[in-house]
Structure 1
Amino acid sequence: MTSGLHHITAITRKIQANVDFYCGFLGLRLVKRTGGFEDAAQLHLFYGDAVASPGSLVSFLAWEDGSPGRVGHGAASEIAFAIRPQAIGFWLTRALQSGIGTEGPAMEFGEPVLRLKDPDGIIIKLVGTETVRGGAPWGVRGIEVEDAILALRGATLLSEHPAETAGFLTRHGRFTAAETAGSITRMTSQSGQILDVRDATGFWPAAPGTGAIDHVALRLPDVAAVNGEVKALAVEGIDAVNVHDRKYFYSLYVREPAGGLIELATDDGPGFAADEPLETLGTTLFIPEHFSLRREDIVPMLPQFGLPGEPRILYRDLPFVHRIHEAEVPDGSTLVLLHGAGGNEASLLPLGRKILPAATLIGLRGRATEEGVARFFRRFGPMQFDQADIRAEAEAFAGFLEQAGHAYGLASGKTAFLGYSNGANLLAAAMELHPGLVHRAVLLRPMAVLEPEPASNLAGADVLIVAGDQDPYLGHSEQLSERLMRAGADVSYKRVAAGHALSDEDVAVAREFLR
């Protein structure tokens, strides 16, 4: 067999910036876009060479606006790509022209190395080497084939137990210890790819999050070899392995002795061309079949992006983290969505897409947290709401709408709002505190949280309140309906056969109202 790397997987905070860097700047090919195999609502992108060769692949899980991770022992700290030694000057010039900071070139283990960082801060090394030969570099505009990235060169693993980590890579990855420089032991493979094991004793431990490398995948020849490693690991007393059929390859996940996540993946396919032609590789979104989920429930939750030269959403830095989902054939209308407690900016996008198929959807993320759960305002206890926080967040929401109107060209006459539970409560409070802010709103399972009741003039506001007839908070929805009508709003009150959770009937009622 030919030992070496299969792929490296990391986590990104902004998928558009990630695509622009790896496709636009580095010139890699986007070879696969899928929903995550562990979470179908998480976008997973693979980049590689022209034919998606194992050993050329780097992939990213999208945690849009997620918390940053931390580099430390028990994880990889650098990703290295192989280029021809003569191409170092080209990449230094390209980085300077692109405004990307660099370190080097410097010699490491006899090879010229240029260091830079991707948009998430992950260290990328471009290594001039004759050892690794790529079979199919992906040439793009501005990058000649002789300067293009050939394949992965390797990765740097931070370990508190470097000897044990090196031994694990030898026994289970077929790597061999070659030489040592300072605190780094270089492990080599038959493919010429390397893993540098750095002694990180005394470092802080790694923490998962955006800008962190999740795992390094090593190559094994076939399914039999992967299953053989399951038995070999069991002999060593390591039973905590996960074996998966990833459709494009078969693999197992295991923690090496220092805690780093290692994947052992098959080299013999079937490969990424198994379900789409090679010439259009990476253009179709695939949802893992084992979730048995409807495509319409997943696609709106995945962040949209454009390849270099394609249209893309230009996000602005606004008071609320938000997600925009554009319709395939937009009609110029917009639906702003506010999630319930525990949701996020993507939670209501599938619902919104069912209600208004041609609208641009904007989902907001609440800024308050309660035991790690996102909310739109704080509570002191059950049915005890932080009034100052409600007013502050309503003010911030008003500011968001004003700025979003300029940034995204929202037309007030074509913009509607939908809130669920906690999001509906903030939406109702914002209407009371800022009359004229919202003219058309759907409030699902809401209640009045603002005290005392303000003297608002909501004439001209058109509101649909949808209550569940088995919802324990049903009476509160009725009270809010009466309160908004006292303020002059035109309120339609509907009860559906449901509890506090949403139902298909909510979709039908909201669609009819907003139509």
Structure 2
Amino acid sequence: MTSGIHHITGVTANVQANVDFYVGFLGFRLVKQTGGFADAEQLHLIYGDGLGSPGSLLTFLVWEAAGRGRTGIGQVSEVALAVPPATIGDWLTKAIAATIPLEGPSREFDEAVLRLKDPDGLIVKLVGLDMTTPAALPDAPTRLRGVTLLTDRPVETAAFVTRFGYRNGARAGHTRRMVSDTDVVDVREVSGFLPSVPGAGVPDHVAFRAQDADAVRSMRLSLMEHGPTEVHDRKYFLSLYVRDPAGILLEHATDGPGMTVDEEADQLGRTLFMPPHEAGRAEDLKAMLPQFALPGEERFPARDLPFIHRFNRPADPDGTTLVLLHGTGGNEADLMPIARRMAPRSTLLGVRGRATEEGSNRWFRRLGAVTFDQADIRSEAEAFAAFVEGAVAGYGIDVDRLIFLGYSNGANFLAAVIQLQPGVVRRAILMRSTQALEDSPAEDLTGTDVLLLEGRDDSFASNARVLADVLETRGARIDFRSLPADHELSASDVAESAEWIGWKRSAP
């Protein structure tokens, strides 16, 4: 029976910091980048040895700007990586120089251990142990040494792990070690802890190796009386998912087809792939997923600004920047696909509103269905003006080629910013907008150009014409267009906006 760990999957809230730690500091190779198979709007990164061999793989789901998860019962905890015993001191020196939080060295189960924390707070244990991998990398851990499971049912969890080829090993305190032919699983009793909460820094699951699809099918049959299981084709391996008696998510993943099924060995990790079932919207997804730079590549350091934001830069930017403001319940990536179709060579800057309503992102608070918190609008408009100033200075944005685009709640907020902070927004596209301000300041808006796109059947933004008149009386140039649409965005919005921006769409 093939045994041992196939991969461990975590969650990161900062893709660039994650790449810098696992590639730049630890020295792993990025062997695959894809849209997530469960949610293609999440980036999924896979690190490993030079060939992405099973047993060397660490994968991360990218939840940009997500909150920190909570460590607790029913989760994978520490990740252990094997390094040559003689290098523990070198790793200690390297971590101190890089100001990486650490603990140790110490000895556990008669092995030298140095604990580090990655940028999200995930504990990575470097274990001094000679282990091999098919394509070892210089100055990097060789492979996965093991993983820790936190459980309030240690006997049941340990027994469940034996299904994957593990047997009982040594015990130390509240930890019992399960041993395979290649690595270990430490089952740690944490009775009395709170349950874990998913989020950055908290691993999602551990996957154990299966020789082939027949092994996965056999495992599923053996689990029929245990509880629900799911089997999914992840392109690079076939996976079965199941939860142990403590609720820990475990996976059984085949060794093949492997990381080289769609890239040559010397090109691993260079291409962003989409799951086969998402081929129809691959280009839209590429516009939404966060971008990053590998060590040594040109990068654009993130600036600390008042609003969460994300860039999407095309391969051949023309110098135009579109600042995108989402609708209620959206986020900084929502408008990127439609904006990319409007302006293929523009740099996109998506921004996330700071107000929330029942967990949904908004740009300002509501007091009722159509009653808005006027003080909050003014406060957020002032903060947004500071954000624009900081972004222009910090990222070197050309203000003469800066265009703002807002949809629904984002368009309402953008219209308020135009009126409250004159000069901050000089060119704007407002899609399905209304006048959110009860009293519009009598400011001179000369030099402000606005394309206002109304949906003829839109019941949510019925006073768009009123907003257009308010802006026009204050000197703004308004291009008001009524489209055959409701509140949802349509191909007409793309075409009208592209024309207004100045793009000439080529014939198919």
Same fold (TM over 0.5): yes
Match of 1:452 among 429, 439, 445: 439
Task: Show CA shifts across 1:332-383 (max 9, x none).
Answer: 1111110000100011111111111111111100000001110000101111
SS where residue 257 of structure 2 aligns?
A: coil
SS where residue 99 of structure 2 aligns?
A: coil
Match of 1:364 in 2: 351
Q: Per-residue deviation at 1:199?
A: 0.4
Indicate yes or no: 2:245 matched with 1:257.
Answer: yes
Q: Residues of 2 paired with 1:341 and 1:482: CA distance?
A: 25
Match of 2:136 in 1: 137
Task: Kindly report structure 1 stretches of 4+ aligned residues shifted beyond 4 Å.
Answer: none
Q: Per-residue deviation at 1:454?
A: 2.0
SS where residue 385 of structure 2 aligns?
A: helix
Q: Per-residue deviation at 1:134?
A: 2.0
Matches within 5 A, 1:30-69: 30-69=30-69
Q: Residues of 2 paired with 1:391 and 1:433: CA distance?
A: 7
Q: Is the 1:114–1:127 Cα contact (8 Å) retained in structure 2?
A: yes
Q: Residues of 1 paired with 2:334 and 2:269: CA distance?
A: 26
Q: Is the 1:323–1:362 Cα contact (8 Å) retained in structure 2?
A: yes
**Residues 474 and 99 of structure 1: CA distance in aligned 2, closer, same or farther (over 3 Å):** closer
Which letter does structure 1 place at the counterpart of 2:429?
A: V
Match of 2:506 in 1: none
Match of 1:87 in 2: 87
Matches within 5 A, 1:178-217: 178-191=169-182, 193-217=183-207
Q: Is the 1:177–1:186 Cα contact (8 Å) retained in structure 2?
A: yes
Match of 1:155 in 2: 147
Q: Per-residue deviation at 1:135?
A: 2.4
Match of 1:237 in 2: 226
Q: Residues of 2 paired with 1:134 and 1:488: CA distance?
A: 69
Match of 1:421 in 2: 408
Q: Per-residue deviation at 1:474?
A: 4.8
Indicate yes or no: 2:326 matched with 1:327.
Answer: no
Match of 1:248 in 2: 236
Matches within 5 A, 1:459-470: 459-470=446-457
Q: Per-residue deviation at 1:296?
A: 1.6
Which letter does structure 2 place at the counterpart of 1:79?
A: V
Q: Is the 1:417–1:438 Cα contact (8 Å) retained in structure 2?
A: yes
Q: Per-residue deviation at 1:318?
A: 0.4
SS where residue 250 of structure 1 aligns?
A: strand
SS where residue 60 of structure 1 aligns?
A: strand
Task: Show CA shifts across 1:259-290 (max 9, x none).
Answer: 100001112x0101001101111111110011
Which letter does structure 1 place at the counterpart of 2:93?
A: T
Match of 1:174 in 2: 165
Match of 2:505 in 1: none
**Residues 466 and 312 of structure 1: CA distance in aligned 2, closer, same or farther (over 3 Å):** same
Q: Per-residue deviation at 1:57?
A: 0.2
Q: Residues of 2 paired with 1:103 and 1:445: CA distance?
A: 54
Indicate yes or no: 2:325 matched with 1:338.
Answer: yes
Q: Per-residue deviation at 1:254?
A: 0.5
Q: Per-residue deviation at 1:237?
A: 3.5
Indicate yes or no: 2:92 matched with 1:98.
Answer: no
Q: Residues of 2 paired with 1:412 and 1:179: CA distance?
A: 65
Q: Residues of 1 paired with 2:174 and 2:181: CA distance?
A: 23
Q: Residues of 2 paired with 1:463 and 1:289: CA distance?
A: 40
Match of 2:489 among 477, 496, 502: 502
Q: Per-residue deviation at 1:291?
A: 2.7
Q: Residues of 2 paired with 1:229 and 1:514: CA distance?
A: 57
Indicate yes or no: 2:390 matched with 1:396.
Answer: no
Match of 1:112 in 2: 112
Q: Residues of 2 paired with 1:134 and 1:327: CA distance?
A: 37
Task: Show CA shifts across 1:139-186 (max 9, x none).
Answer: 2xxx3xxxx31100011100000000000001x211111111000000
Indicate yes or no: 2:482 matched with 1:483.
Answer: no
Task: Show CA shifts across 1:438-478 (max 9, x none).
Answer: 11110000000001232121111111000111111353111
Match of 2:156 in 1: 164
Q: Residues of 1 paired with 2:313 and 2:186: CA distance?
A: 43
Percentage identity across paired residues of the two chains: 53
Match of 2:17 in 1: 17
Which letter does structure 2 place at the counterpart of 1:61?
A: L
Q: Residues of 1 paired with 2:125 and 2:91: CA distance?
A: 11
**Residues 97 and 453 of structure 1: CA distance in aligned 2, closer, same or farther (over 3 Å):** closer
Q: Per-residue deviation at 1:292?
A: 4.1
Q: Per-residue deviation at 1:104?
A: 1.3
Which letter does structure 2 place at the counterpart of 1:165?
A: T
Q: Per-residue deviation at 1:95?
A: 1.1
Q: Per-residue deviation at 1:102?
A: 2.0
Q: Per-residue deviation at 1:482?
A: 1.1
Q: Residues of 2 paired with 1:248 and 1:402: CA distance?
A: 45
Indicate yes or no: 2:223 matched with 1:224.
Answer: no
Task: Show CA shifts across 1:194-228 (max 9, x none).
Answer: 00000010111100011110000011111111111
SS where residue 511 of structure 1 aligns?
A: helix
Q: Residues of 2 paired with 1:264 and 1:362: CA distance?
A: 39
Task: Show CA shifts across 1:368-403 (max 9, x none).
Answer: 000111000010111110111111111111110111
Q: Residues of 1 paired with 2:463 and 2:201: CA distance?
A: 44
Which letter does structure 2 place at the counterpart of 1:10?
A: G
Indicate yes or no: 2:296 matched with 1:305.
Answer: no
Q: Is the 1:135–1:150 Cα contact (8 Å) retained in structure 2?
A: no
SS where residue 464 of structure 2 aligns?
A: helix
The normalised TM-score by structure 1 is 0.96
Q: CA RMSD in A?
A: 1.0
Task: Show CA shifts across 1:7-33 (max 9, x none).
Answer: 000000100000000001000000000
Q: Residues of 2 paired with 1:281 and 1:334: CA distance?
A: 31
Q: Per-residue deviation at 1:2?
A: 2.9
Q: Residues of 1 paired with 2:482 and 2:93: CA distance?
A: 65
Q: Residues of 2 paired with 1:293 and 1:367: CA distance?
A: 32
